[in-house]
Amino acid sequence: MPKIYVIEDDEAIRGELLRLLEREGYETGACEDFSRASELALAAGPDLVLLDLTLPGTDGQLVCRELRGASSVPIIVLTSRTTEADEVVAMTLGADDFVPKPYSPRVLLARIAALLRRSGGSAARSVLEHNGVTLDLSRSLASSASGSVELTKNEVRILGLLMRRAGTIVSREDLMRELWDSEAFVDDNTLTVNVNRLRGALAKMGVEGFLVTHRGQGYSVQA
């Protein structure tokens, strides 16, 4: 499913948006460090960004410009700043749509679906590539110049998340949420077992050292 990244500083609204999107089956991510909003959004590799204009320590218009300068990811501005001037500026800076708050959940979901259809949605991201490794999400197949290997569902989820966030360290908690929705009921050792199995699978196709362990922090893919 497509991944939607939410840049919204109001915790209640952010939580509401994430629940709404997840009920619809979307993969989600959210920004909490707004001084790095565009950087974190790009690292998450989303199919669409929901962006508030009023953010602490920065301005949503600046974030919109930075995102558009580095990526063609679709952007929907979702904001209480609803003057005609705000809408014109947001669209001029590269936003694809503008939805005022308070928003209608049905209308927002319809706008998201329409924009994903126009942009190709997740189809364009069914294959991820990084540092000589290719992951075909639709076929659960990892490959390199040395060979290929079929991965389990959990291995695909782990590798996919790490590759989408290439250049950053992904915490164990984020990985557990990716696999099981909540880390609260999972033995921490279970994640270690899955990561080690993924390392073994990659080794079978001649790839060593691609998964990097950051002790006490999480994991990343090789830079």
Tokens for 82?
């609803």
Residues 196, 114 within the same domain = no
Q: Specify whether 59 is located in the same domain as 161.
A: no
pLDDT of residue 182: 41
Same domain as 194, residue 156: yes
Q: Give the residue from 123, 155, 179 where a domain finishes.
A: 123
One pLDDT digit (tens) per residue for the chain, 223 residues: 789 999 999 999 999 999 999 988 889 999 999 999 999 998 888 999 999 988 998 988 899 989 988 888 899 999 887 777 777 877 888 889 989 899 999 999 999 988 888 876 544 456 788 999 999 877 889 999 989 999 988 888 899 889 888 888 988 888 887 776 544 445 568 889 999 999 999 999 999 999 999 998 999 999 8
* Domain encompassing residue 174: 126-221
Whether residues 161 and 175 fall in one domain: yes
Q: What is the CATH classification number for the domain harbouring 105?
A: 3.40.50.2300
pLDDT recorded at residue 125? 52
Q: Give the domain CATH number at 183.
A: 1.10.10.10
pLDDT of residue 122: 47
pLDDT of 185: 46
83 and 63 inside one domain: yes
Q: Please report the pLDDT score of residue 121 as a whole number.
A: 54
Among the candidates 123, 140, 161, a domain finishes at 123
What is 26-71 written as a DSSP string?
-EEEE---GGGHHHHHHHH--SEEEE-SEETTEEHHHHHHHHHHH-
pTM (two decimals): 0.56
Same domain, 130 and 88: no
Note whether 28 and 41 are same-domain residues.
Answer: yes
| Number of domains the chain is built from | 2
Final residue before a domain boundary, out of 96, 123, 150: 123
Shared domain check, 132 and 117: no
Same domain as 215, residue 114:
no
Is 216 found in the same domain as 109? no
Q: What is the pLDDT of residue 188?
A: 65
Q: Are 23 and 81 members of one domain?
A: yes
d(CA 198, CA 119) in angstroms, rounded, equals: 32
Predicted local distance difference test score (pLDDT) of residue 133: 93
Coil, strand or helix: which one is 163?
helix
Regarding whether 136 and 117 lie in a shared domain, the answer is no
